Amino acid sequence: SQQGEEDPQALSIQEGENATMNCSYKTSINNLQWYRQNSGRGLVHLILIRSNEREKHSGRLRVTLDTSKKSSSLLITASRAADTASYFCATAGNDMRFGAGTRLTVKP
Amino acid sequence: GAVVSQHPSRVICKSGTSVKIECRSLDFQATTMFWYRQFPKQSLMLMATSNEGSKATYEQGVEKDKFLINHASLTLSTLTVTSAHPEDSSFYICSAFRTGATYEQYFGPGTRLTVT
């Protein structure tokens, strides 16, 4: 069964805008990871945030984690057409569970 | 960083044949590896947990006689799809759990299986 649930399911923005995706989960976790997947391709690891961390940055990516609300958000700033992809959150405990993903479309 | 490879990246086979997919952790040991399946436009579905030196643990609904998993060493796990059928066509992804590192998993690039 899936653990993480992302919302929105689909997001369409213009190049240069920011994109925010959210993820909620149900059980206790050790860490939460965000992945990107281009159509028909494998997963690309973006960022890992541990349960004792609240915020993490990597380039244009900003991830927050609120363990009290069991939620995380991924912010992509100054989006580019190349950011068009599906984004998944994955929670890590004894195994790893994925949400259904957010399909992001960045229009040039 | 940690690298996980899969081979082959793409395979086309005829219905009724078997296909083996390899998952290797290239620069770390992985006591545990996971196998996932992904249908088009859907998330990854965990199929089974592969532990080195012991039998794999399958998720509910996954046929263990159809999806044979062998974890022969700390760096290699294989998934064999036996008597493949067109409905087995999918994207198969493995991940390796780094031994000694708490809850860190790294994913392979995936294998696209097409059964004709």
pLDDT tens, residue by residue, A64-95: 999 999 999 999 999 999 999 989 888 766 55
Per the listing, tokens 């961390």 go with A53
pLDDT per position as a tens digit, B3-30: 889 999 999 999 999 999 999 999 888 8
**Residue A1, pLDDT score:** 35
**Of B42 and B87, the one with more pLDDT:** B87
Site from B36, B57, B103 to mutate, A interface, most A CB atoms within 10 angstroms: B103
**Residue A45, pLDDT score:** 79
The answer to whether A2 contacts B43, with C-beta atoms less than 8 Å apart, is yes
**Distances from the Cα of B28 to the Cαs of B62, B73, B107, in angstroms?**
28, 12, 13
CB atoms within 10 A of CB A27: 10
- Partners of A48 on chain B (C-beta within 8 Å) are 104
The answer to whether B43 contacts A30, with C-beta atoms less than 8 Å apart, is no
Whether the CB-CB separation of A50 and A108 falls below 8 Å is answered with no
**Of B101 and A84, the one with more pLDDT:** A84
**Residue B103, pLDDT score:** 56
Is A101 part of the contact surface with chain B (CB cutoff 8 Å)? Answer: yes
